[in-house]
């Protein structure tokens, strides 16, 4: 698929489909739109009337244009009120147009949307909308049903000069797509071994630093919490550390840590049926986002050093499994009573956070499909953010806002640590049911001494089912665009 900015005005554009964005408060066809309607012998005004199109956000319509016209279809997409226009509106509008164009078997598409902020931000948002809506994952299908032609060429009308911004947006999208593909791959295909191979391949392709710690290496570092989780798996654990270093002196040094459970059975405190156990391939979503961010950052080449870390394993059951009640010692020397083997993510993250802090970075952000409690609290559209650091919180919220990814700060209520107090060990890994997402964050906090740190729970946002009224169901790649914005900020 080719995406480019063009100088051609909408009146002169020729191709399969012309898509036009309309505001609720801009529904009278005046100026350019009136001329276009005239040129299309009234098709545009007829369409608007026929479907009672009001320009509401997410509304759209399309119709065939007379055969003598240089365009075959006209697509209209609603943008809501002009005063509310955001980049996210443009992303959604482009996504809608892309899906419609595909459905209508259009190979070439011209799109005319209003400017938001500046030409480059506008072009980037539109590009993201198209790329992420039109990406389809066919890796595991033996045959494809009802495949019409692909949209091959998209032209952004009125945004000439934004080709560099389009190229960068596409690099970011390649990271989002990698994250999605890793999450969507089943647990018999995406394993700690294949995750390590993916990391090696990324490092090879983009010339990044890579270090993969095997079980013995992790033992030497005293990573008892991570290894406790890995014990029952027949597959070797892999502790993955990828480094991006700019050619210039880095402006700052950051670490991104992702939970990497390629499958979470719950261990001996086994997940029951109805718990969503069959979806626990998504439990490496933090690592997926981390790798996706690697791919984007390696292409964007910012002047920031970034360490990407994931302790990858499965949480399984076997005669080697850790027992509910085992005491584990993490690499910072803290002891943990494992009162529930299903609270495994925080155990793997504990050692990953200790490792990250030892690198001497300026800030650490972890992403994890950590708790069902976060899904209950915030649903599938909003991720939870916990951080003792107001400055880092502000950076992440701004990064998420411009990415169009929803993030809500939750309280790190110290008092609730009471619930994690253990009789003989330093702490338990699980507290009482109330505030389960907060106690999980408080647990992680024990493994970061004084580096600014934030934890993002993506258990809800990692995957979205079609039933949630989502027109792009499946793995979301949530977090890649936020993290990229954060690193660049
Ligand atoms: N991977 C799960 C959390 C999860 C739940 C992710 C639903 C995506 C969807 C995590 O390892 C887990 O099992 N958490 C437990 C913690 C509990 C035992 C304290 C949970 O949330 O039930
Ligand atoms: Mn679990
Ligand atoms: Zn888990």
What percent of the chain has a predicted confidence (pLDDT) above 70?
Answer: 100
Q: Which domain holds residue 447?
A: 170-488
Residue 75 lies in a domain: yes
375 lines ligand 1 (CB under 6 A): yes
143 and 175 fall within a common domain: no
Closest-approaching ligand to the CA atom of 383: 1
Structure tokens at 140: 């595991």
Domain boundary (139, 159, 179) is at: 159
Domain boundary (105, 133, 159) is at: 159
- Residue 22 belongs to domain with CATH number: 3.40.220.10
| Burial bucket for residue 12 (CB in 10 Å: 0-12, 13-18, 19+) | exposed
| Burial bucket for residue 200 (CB in 10 Å: 0-12, 13-18, 19+) | middle
Q: pLDDT tens digits for 317-330?
A: 999 999 999 999 99
Residue 165 lies in a domain: no
Q: Which of 281, 346, 445, 481 is catalytic?
A: 346
What is residue 73's three-state secondary structure? strand
User: φ and ψ at 155, to 5 degrees?
Assistant: -120, 125
| CB-based contacts of 192, cutoff 8 Å, min separation 6 | 233, 235, 236, 237, 238, 260, 262, 312, 313, 314
Into how many domains does the chain fold? 2
122 and 247 fall within a common domain: no
- CB burial of 92-130 (b: ≥16 within 10 Å; e: otherwise) equals bbbbbbbbbbbebebbbbbbbbbebeebbbbbbbbbbbb
Domain boundary (105, 131, 159) is at: 159
Residue 140 lies in a domain: yes
Q: pLDDT tens digits for 344-364?
A: 999 999 999 999 999 999 999
- Average per-residue pLDDT for the chain: 97
Torsional sign, CA 267, 273, 274, 280: positive
- Residue 350 belongs to domain with CATH number: 3.40.630.10
Residue 184 lies in a domain: yes
119 and 215 fall within a common domain: no
Q: pLDDT tens digits for 52-109?
A: 999 999 899 999 998 788 999 999 999 999 999 999 999 999 999 999 999 999 999 9
Q: Which of 183, 337, 342 to mutate to test the pocket of ligand 1 (most atoms within 8 A of CB)?
A: 342
Look at residue 146 in the predicted model and tell me its pLDDT.
77
192 and 276 fall within a common domain: yes
Look at residue 234 in the predicted model and tell me its pLDDT.
98
Q: Which of 229, 269, 276, 371 to mutate to test the pocket of ligand 1 (most atoms within 8 A of CB)?
A: 371
Dihedral over alpha carbons 288, 476, 404, 303 (to 10 degrees): 20
133 and 271 fall within a common domain: no
Instruction: Give strand pairing partners of 456.
Output: 367, 385
Q: pLDDT tens digits for 131-174?
A: 999 999 999 999 988 788 999 999 999 999 999 999 999 999 99
Residue 164 lies in a domain: no
Is 170 designated active site? no
| Burial bucket for residue 384 (CB in 10 Å: 0-12, 13-18, 19+) | buried
pLDDT band at 469 (very low <50, low <70, confident <90, very high): confident
Q: pLDDT tens digits for 276-313?
A: 999 999 999 999 999 999 999 999 999 999 999 999 99
Instruction: Supply the pTM of this predicted model.
Output: 0.98
Return d(Cα 74, Cα 213) in angstroms, integer. 55
pLDDT band at 232 (very low <50, low <70, confident <90, very high): very high
């Amino acid at each position: 698929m080719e995406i480019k900015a063009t100088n051609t005005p909408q009146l002169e554009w020729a191709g399969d489909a012309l898509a036009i964005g309309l505001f609720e408060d801009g529904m009278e066809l005046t100026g350019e739109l009136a001329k276009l309607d005239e040129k299309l012998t009234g098709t545009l005004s007829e369409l608007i009337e026929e479907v009672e199109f009001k320009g509401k956000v997410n509304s759209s319509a399309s119709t065939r244009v007379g055969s003598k016209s240089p365009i075959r279809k006209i697509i209209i997409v609603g943008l809501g009120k002009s005063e509310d226009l955001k980049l996210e509106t443009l992303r959604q509008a482009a996504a809608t147009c892309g899906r419609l164009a595909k459905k209508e078997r259009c190979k070439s598409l011209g799109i005319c949307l209003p400017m938001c902020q500046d030409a480059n931000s506008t072009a980037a948002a539109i590009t993201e909308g198209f790329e992420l809506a039109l990406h389809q994952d066919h890796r595991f299908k033996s045959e494809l049903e009802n495949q019409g032609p692909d949209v091959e060429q998209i032209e952004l009308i009125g945004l000439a000069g934004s080709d560099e911004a389009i190229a960068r947006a596409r690099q970011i999208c390649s990271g989002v797509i990698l994250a999605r593909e890793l999450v969507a791959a089943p647990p018999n295909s995406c394993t700690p071994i294949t995750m390590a191979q993916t990391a090696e391949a990324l490092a090879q392709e983009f010339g990044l630093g890579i270090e993969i710690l095997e079980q013995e290496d992790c033992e030497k570092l005293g990573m008892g919490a991570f290894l406790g989780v890995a014990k029952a798996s027949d597959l070797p654990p892999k502790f993955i550390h990828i480094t991006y270093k700019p050619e210039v002196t880095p402006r700052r040094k950051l670490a991104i840590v992702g939970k990497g459970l390629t499958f979470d059975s719950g261990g001996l405190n086994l997940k029951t049926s109805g718990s969503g156990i069959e979806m626990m391939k998504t439990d490496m979503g933090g690592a997926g986002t981390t790798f996706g961010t690697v791919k984007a950052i390696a292409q964007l080449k910012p002047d920031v050093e970034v360490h990407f870390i994931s302790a990858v394993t499965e949480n399984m059951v076997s005669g080697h499994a850790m027992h509910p009640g085992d005491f584990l010692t993490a690499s910072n020397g803290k002891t943990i009573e494992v009162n529930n083997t299903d609270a495994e993510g925080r155990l793997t993250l504990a050692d990953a956070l200790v490792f990250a802090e030892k690198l001497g970075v300026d800030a650490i952000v972890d992403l994890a499909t950590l708790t069902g409690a976060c899904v209950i609290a915030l649903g599938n559209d909003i991720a939870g953010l916990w951080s003792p650091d107001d400055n880092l919180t502000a950076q992440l919220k701004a990064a998420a806002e411009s990415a169009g990814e929803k993030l809500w700060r939750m309280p790190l209520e110290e008092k609730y640590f009471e619930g994690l107090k253990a009789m003989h060990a330093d702490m338990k890994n699980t507290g009482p049911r109330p505030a389960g997402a907060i106690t999980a964050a408080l647990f992680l906090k024990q493994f970061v001494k004084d580096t600014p740190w934030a934890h993002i729970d993506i258990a809800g946002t990692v995957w979205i089912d079609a039933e949630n009224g989502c027109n792009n169901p499946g793995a979301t790649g949530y977090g890649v665009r936020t993290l990229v914005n954060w690193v660049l900020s």
